[in-house]
Amino acid sequence: MPSDPRPPEHSLESSFAEELRAVRPDLVPAFHRALPGARAAVLARLWRSLRFEQLPGAEGHRLDGPDLRGYEVGAPKDEFTVQADGRTFTDPAALVTALGLVGGAGFAAEVAHSTASLALSRAGAADASGKAGPAGTADAATPPRGTGLVGQEQSVVDGHPYHPCCRSRPGFTVADQLAYAPEHRPVVPLGLVPLPPSACAVVGDWPEALRDGRGRLLLPAHPWQLREVLPGLGFPAAEGSLTADPLMALRTLAPVDGGPHLKTALSLRMTSSVRDISGSSVRNSGALSALLTAVTERLGGALVITRNLAAASALTGPRCGSLTGPGREFSAELAVLVRESPEVHAGPGERVLPLGAISAVSGDPVAWLGGLARLAWPPLLRLLSWGVALEAHGQNLLVVLDQRDRPLRLVYRDLADVRISPLRLAGIGVHPGGLAGHVLEDDPARLRRKLTGSLLGGGFSSLVSQLGLGSRGLEDELWAAVADAARSAAAVLTPEDRRALLEQPLPVKALSRMRLEGQPPGDQWTLLPNPLAAAPGGKSSQ
């Protein structure tokens, strides 16, 4: 018997059930049914972290669990156990607490929240689809809710494939999750905050639809932000609203009437990051979009970006809420990015969906993934050689499919975490004028891990795990197809970059270690076995 029972009256899961009983009593039975699978899914992610991230405080314990590989996604069933010092655990938060991880108290709370939220997500998805049990991600061939991008994105129920905090949303009540989280398929009313142009910093051409006709700009704000954050900062109340569908990123929404997508500020932590919009993101938005558009045009259409059309931030003074006077600064709490919808890059009969929304494909999965790999590696490695490293994980990188669901070309969105090397770009006659801050990076190792950690350690890894269906033989075939395409495309790289891609261990973010209190700020990294080196014909230097 597992040895980690938690008194129901003291558990976060019970608190969720009580809140759910007040707002959606019909979902309570489904929530309880979903809890074992949610615990298993989060525990599998935690076990991956314990195996590969060198979490401080874990090294003194005897740990044993399933033989997960570094690229494996979650737990497909309701049963997943980990043994620690002779005790058997099914509850991931209880395991974190028992291990006494250094700085792990807050992490345990986030893991508990992730587990309960994931059960709620699965319960809501089962209710929406009419099917019981865990809900997965979209089938590229038979999407559960039409062929539109919104439906595909909202079909992603489990969140980040590798992070134990995949559904952690502290600060959201159960009612908030039902009202705002994409997997529950709500329509969200974004409040329109009116500000005079003198109280805003604007980059690009601000849309006429977001002006009030009296000279004021209307800044879309998430309703949670309107309720919890903005009243204390002295901003005016919203006047009117704009209805929109939340996408995978939750705070990025697609207006129901069409048009550009809106990335809003949301001052709470989801997964790993607080989702404000920094001043540098607003300042860089136009210049970064223009530079990336010009550079990707050299790829002949193999990859396009969704342009930032405009950005705006409220201006604050030395004290929050002061919109006039000297020393004004960009507000991270009231800001918005307006960017193209990826669907503008799909032609008649085509559709576009994120890699993270694919769990099954039509026909031979090895042939399909090989086609995607031959499509993805050449432009992304060419960009790296030029000095542009995209964070091409399953949420940012999208694929355009033809009527037979064959990959045609790629679309990249969300430019904030791109890295640009002025030194490398100078080699092709491009100079990143107007850019500043964290997007500028000349260190070759940091450029490489930005791309490979996201594309290989995220996008392709999760696809191999999903399409492999637990068969090691099929997974090996899928990796061989990815590796063949990478080797063919890697000729454009420097010898150092080529060895790092094809032979050396794979750097990926240490997702759990980053959530432990007392750790250095910013991204931290760990190393996984490189699946390209392990594939037939590979050469490992591990």
pLDDT band at 3 (very low <50, low <70, confident <90, very high): low
| pLDDT, mean of residues 294-312 | 96
What DSSP element (H or E) covers 422? helix 422-426
What pTM did the predictor assign?
0.92
Residue located via tokens 């509850």: 91
In the predicted model, is pLDDT for residue 256 greater than 50? Answer: yes
pLDDT at 323: 42
Residue located via tokens 């700020």: 521
Q: Give 1 or 171, the one with higher predicted confidence.
A: 171
Distance between CA atoms of residues 511 and 475, nearest Å: 24
pLDDT, one tens digit per residue, over 304-348 is 999 999 999 999 865 444 444 455 789 999 999 999 999 999 999
pLDDT at 537: 80
pLDDT, one tens digit per residue, over 409-444 is 999 999 989 999 999 999 999 999 889 889 999 999
Burial per residue of 524-538, b for 16 or more beta-carbon CB atoms within 10 angstroms, e otherwise? bbbbbebbbbebeeb
In the predicted model, is pLDDT for residue 528 greater than 80? Answer: yes
Distance between CA atoms of residues 173 and 452, nearest Å: 36
In the predicted model, is pLDDT for residue 146 greater than 50? Answer: no
pLDDT at 274: 65
Going from N- to C-terminal start, the domains of the chain cover 10-168, 188-291+308-339, 349-534
In the predicted model, is pLDDT for residue 485 greater than 60? Answer: yes
Tell me the Ramachandran region of residue 300: left when phi exceeds 0, alpha when psi lies from -120 to 50, beta otherwise. left
Cα separations (Å) of 62 from 43, 57, 98, 283?
17, 12, 12, 50
| pLDDT, mean of residues 253-279 | 86
Coil, strand or helix: which one is 342?
A: helix
Q: Give 382 or 141, the one with higher predicted confidence.
A: 382
| Dihedral of alpha carbons 259, 261, 264, 269, sign | positive
pLDDT at 226: 96
| pLDDT, mean of residues 467-484 | 96
Q: In what order do the strands lie in the sheet with 87-89?
A: 63-64, 82-84, 87-89
pLDDT at 152: 94
pLDDT band at 4 (very low <50, low <70, confident <90, very high): low
Q: Would you list the DSSP string of 496-524?
A: HHHHHHHTSPEEEE-TTGGGSTTSPSS--
Burial per residue of 83-117, b for 16 or more beta-carbon CB atoms within 10 angstroms, e otherwise? ebeeeebbbbbbbbbbbebeebeebbbbbbbbbbb
pLDDT at 271: 59
pLDDT, one tens digit per residue, over 396-412 is 999 999 999 999 999 99
pLDDT, one tens digit per residue, over 352-388 is 999 999 989 989 999 999 999 999 999 999 999 999 9
pLDDT at 520: 85
Q: Give 211 or 140, the one with higher predicted confidence.
A: 211
User: How does the average pLDDT of the chain come out, rounded?
Assistant: 90
pLDDT at 352: 96
The pLDDT > 70 percentage for the chain reads: 91
In the predicted model, is pLDDT for residue 209 greater than 70? Answer: yes
pLDDT at 144: 38
Domain 349-534 has CATH 1.10.510.40: yes
- Phi and psi at residue 284, to the nearest 5°: -80, -15
Nearest to 366 by CA among 453, 454, 463, 462: 463
pLDDT at 536: 83
The answer to which of 43-57, 115-129, 229-243, 420-434 has the lowest mean pLDDT is: 115-129
The pLDDT > 90 percentage for the chain reads: 80
Nearest to 153 by CA among 353, 334, 11: 353
pLDDT at 129: 55
pLDDT at 325: 46
pLDDT, one tens digit per residue, over 83-139 is 999 999 999 999 999 999 999 999 999 999 999 999 999 999 877 654 433 334 443
Residue 330 forms beta bridges with which residues? 315
What DSSP element (H or E) covers 284? helix 279-296
Nearest to 457 by CA among 391, 411, 410, 503: 391
pLDDT at 228: 93
Coil, strand or helix: which one is 408?
A: strand
| pLDDT, mean of residues 213-242 | 94
pLDDT band at 200 (very low <50, low <70, confident <90, very high): very high
